[in-house]
Amino acid sequence: MFVQSTPLGSEIEAQALDVFFLLRGARPAPSEIVIVAIDEPSIQELGLPWPWPRSLHAALLRKLDKAGARLVVMDVVFAEKTVPAQDQAFEQSLAENGRVILASTVDKVEDPAFSRIMLVEPLAGFRQAALGTGSALFSPDPDGSIRRFSTRMAGVPTLAAAAFGALAAAPPPDIDGGLLDHLGPPRTIRTVSYTQVLDDAHPLPAPLLRNAVVFVGRSLAAPPELGEQADAFRTPFSRTNGIPTAGVELHATALATLQSGNIGVQAPAWASAAAAFFLLPLGALLLSRLSPLSGALASLAAAGGVLGASYLLFIATFTWFPSLLLGSGLLTVETVLLLEGYMRSAKDKRRIRMAFSRYVSPGVVDMLLSRPELLEPGGQEVEATVLFSDLAGFTSFSERMQPEELMKVLSEYFAPMTAVIKENSGTLDKFIGDAIMAFWGAPLRDEHHAQNACRAALAMGRAMDDLRNRWKDQGYPMLHARIGIHSGKVVAGNVGSREQMNYTCLGDTVNLASRLESVNKYYGTGILLSGETRAQLGPGFITRKVDAIRVKGRARPVEIHELLDLGDSPPPWVALHESGLAAYAARDFTGAADMFASVLDMKPGDGPAALLLRRCRTLLESPPDAQWDAIHVMESK
C-alpha cells in the first residue's frame, strides 16, 4: 500500500509490530549466553574513569578462560593506543584465550566540503591476537527503535554473525533487515556485573560461565563520558517501561536469533498491496449494504479480524504482515460510507423539509424527518379526513380582473388558509384554481383527524371574515368560502419519486369531500360534513343535520351536517330544524313545513330551512310514492 511506504505509514505499522511483541510477551533466554555488563555498580566499585586500563580487560579474559567460557564477544572498540604495558597485557590475554571476538565500528565525518565514512577497527596487534572482529553497528528504524538486524554492516560481519561463524564453524546466513527476535525487556538474557567476574572473594557459580558465550559491553543508563552517546536503544519492550536495552544485549539477542533459526521476515509489499486491493473494495461493497450500526460493528470486526490474523501469522511463523493501516482502511471505508450516508440523509432531510414545510406544520416536518420511510414512493391505506374549500362566485369575479390583481387576491386568500391548516396539524395537498385540498391523518397518524379538520374549517371561516373586511375597503365583491369535509379510508403516499415528490391521497373519501363542497351551493351553507365525520367529532362542536342525499356516481346515501361553531350549546333553531327533518322523513310534510318556517322566523334567510320548506310544499301538492325514502338525489356534481 502506498501509505505504508511513507515514513509516517512505516512508523505506524512499526508500532503495531511492537504491540505484537508485547502481546507475545517475554520468552526464555538461551542459558548458554551470558552478558558481562560494564554497569554502574562496576564503575562505582572500581572507582576508575572510563576507559578502564586494558590490563583490567586482560584480567577479565583470563577469568573467563579459567571459568571455561566457550567464546567471548567484546562489544568494546579498542582502536587507540594507550599505555604500552597495558596494551601488551591485553594483547597477550587475547592470544592466550584464543576465543575472543573484538568490535569494529564506523567513523562518519560530515563537512560542508566533503563527507567521509571510515571503518574503525581494533589495533593491528589486537586483531591478530583475536579470533575475529565484527561490526558493533545497528541500524535503528526512523523512530530510533531496534527491530531489525543484519549479518553484515559497513561491509563486514556483525558481532553476532562473527560469533555465529566461530561457533558453527560455518558462514552465517545472509540476513539483511531480518526481524530481531526480541526476548523481553532489558536484562532478559542472564547478566552479571563486570566486577562479579573479577571478585575472587565471591566467585560466580562455576556452571554459569562454563561453555557459555559471553558478551562483554556497556550496560549503562547514561554514557560514561560527557558528549559520548549511550550504547542503549529502544526496543518494542521499551513501550511498557521506557527503558532502553543495552547494545551488548541486542548483539546477544541477534546471536540467539541466528542460533534458533527463528529469523522474522516482513511480508512483501506486493502481498500488502494485493490484500488492500482485494479487501477494501470488497469491504466497501459489503458494508454499503448494511445499516449504519451494523456497518460500524462489521467494520470493527473486520479490522479486528485483519489485525488478529496478522498477529496469529506473527506468532505461528514469525512473519510480520503490516495490517494496522489495512484495518484502518476498512474503518475508513465505513467512515466514508457513514459520512456519505449522513450527507445523503441531510440532503434527503433538506428535500423533505423543502417539499413539506409549505404544506404541513414544523412539528409534522420534524416527525417526517425522523421517519423518512413514510415518504417512499407508493401509498398505504389510512383513516383520514379530507377537506375541500372553494370561493363562491370567484369565476365570474376573476373574469373582471387583471391577471396581476387576480394573483394578488388569490395570494391574500391562500396565505391565511394555509397557515390555518398547518396550525391545526393538517397537510395541504394542492391548490386547484381558487380551491384548496387538505387532509388530516397522513403522512402521520392522527387520532383526532376529524376534530382537527373541523377546527381548521371554522378558523378558515373566521380568516375569510377578516379578508372580506379588507377586500371591502379595496372595492372587491364579498366572496364566501364553501367547505366540504368527509372522513374515511384513503390511500395516501408519494405518487411521484424521491426527487420529485407529490404527497397526496386518493379514493372515494376524497371524491365525496369534493362533492360536499359543491353541495353547499345547493343548500346555501358554508361548511358541510358527512355523517361519518360528524360521528367522530364528539362533544365540543355545534352542528345540525341538514339532509340525507345521494350524490351522482355514488349509490350509498350520505347524511350531511352543517358545522356551525365550537361549543356545547346550540341555538334553539338547531333542534327545531332537526325535528322538522325527522317529520319530513316520516312523511309529515305539514308538520315539517311548520317547523322549517319557524326556523326561518328565528334565523331569517337560512338556506337549508328555506330549501326544505319549499320541498315540503311541493310534496304536499304532489305526494311521493311508496318507494320514497327521504333521500334527496343530487342531479349534478
Diameter of the chain by CA atoms? Answer: 156
What percentage of the chain has pLDDT greater than the value 90?
Answer: 52
Nearest CA among 445, 451, 437 for reference residue 538: 451
What is the arithmetic mean of pLDDT over 514-543?
94
Residue with the larger pLDDT of the pair 334 and 463: 463
Least confident of 23-27, 223-227, 453-457: 223-227
pLDDT for 376 equals 60
pLDDT for 517 equals 94
Grid coordinates standing for 369? 424527518
| Local confidence band at 346 (pLDDT 50, 70, 90 cut-offs) | low
pLDDT for 227 equals 42
Give the model confidence (pLDDT) of 517-527 as tens digits. Answer: 999 999 999 99
pLDDT for 239 equals 85
Give the model confidence (pLDDT) of 467-510 as tens digits. Answer: 988 888 887 777 889 999 999 999 988 766 555 666 788 999 99
Q: Calculate the CA dihedral of residues 458, 464, 465, 469 and round it to 10 degrees.
A: 170
Is residue 77 within 8 Å of residue 217, measured between CB atoms?
A: no
Is residue 4 within 8 Å of residue 13, measured between CB atoms?
A: yes
Nearest CA among 484, 532, 537, 531 for reference residue 511: 484
Give the model confidence (pLDDT) of 365-387 as tens digits. Answer: 666 666 665 556 667 899 999 99
pLDDT for 2 equals 45
Whether cis (ω within 30° of 0) applies to the bond prior to 403 is no
pLDDT for 363 equals 56
What percentage of the chain has pLDDT greater than the value 70?
Answer: 82
Residue 572's contacts (CB-CB under 8 Å, 6 or more residues apart) are 602
What is the arithmetic mean of pLDDT over 36-63?
92
Distance CA 505, CA 492 (A): 4
| Local confidence band at 170 (pLDDT 50, 70, 90 cut-offs) | confident
| Local confidence band at 222 (pLDDT 50, 70, 90 cut-offs) | low
| Local confidence band at 265 (pLDDT 50, 70, 90 cut-offs) | confident
Distance CA 313, CA 319 (A): 6
What is the arithmetic mean of pLDDT over 306-320?
83
Residue with the larger pLDDT of the pair 364 and 175: 175
Residue with the larger pLDDT of the pair 274 and 599: 599
Strand partners, 33: 213
pLDDT for 1 equals 44
Is residue 63 within 8 Å of residue 192, measured between CB atoms?
A: no
What is the arithmetic mean of pLDDT over 299-311?
76
What is the pLDDT of the chain when averaged over all its residues? Answer: 85
Least confident of 12-26, 57-71, 130-144, 558-572: 12-26
Residue with the larger pLDDT of the pair 633 and 637: 633
Angle at 581 between CA 575 and CA 585, to 5 degrees: 145
What is the arithmetic mean of pLDDT over 286-299?
71
Give the model confidence (pLDDT) of 393-451 as tens digits. Answer: 777 777 777 878 888 888 889 999 999 998 998 988 888 888 999 999 988 889 999 99
pTM of the model: 0.59
| Local confidence band at 226 (pLDDT 50, 70, 90 cut-offs) | very low
Per mean pLDDT, which of 53-62, 117-126, 355-364 is the most reliable?
53-62
Distance CA 204, CA 381 (A): 94
| Local confidence band at 9 (pLDDT 50, 70, 90 cut-offs) | low
Residue 14's contacts (CB-CB under 8 Å, 6 or more residues apart) are 141, 143, 145, 147
Grid coordinates standing for 520? 353547499
